[in-house]
Amino acid sequence: MSLEVAAAQVNVGYSRKVVPTMPSVVKIFLIINMRIGRIEIIPALVVLKLFVDLSKDFKGSTQNHNNRFIPNL
Please give the torsion angle defined by the CA atoms of residues 37, 38, 39 and 41, in that order, rounded to the nearest 10 degrees. 10
Q: Where are the domains of the chain?
A: 2-63
pLDDT band for 50, please (50, 70, 90 cuts).
Answer: very high
Q: pTM value? A: 0.56
pLDDT band for 28, please (50, 70, 90 cuts).
Answer: very high
pLDDT of res. 61: 59
Query: Is pLDDT of 69 > 70?
Result: no
Average pLDDT of the residues in 61-71: 56
Please give the torsion angle defined by the CA atoms of residues 21, 32, 35 and 50, in that order, rounded to the nearest 10 degrees. -170
Count of Cβ atoms closer than 10 Å to residue 44 Cβ = 15
pLDDT of res. 13: 75
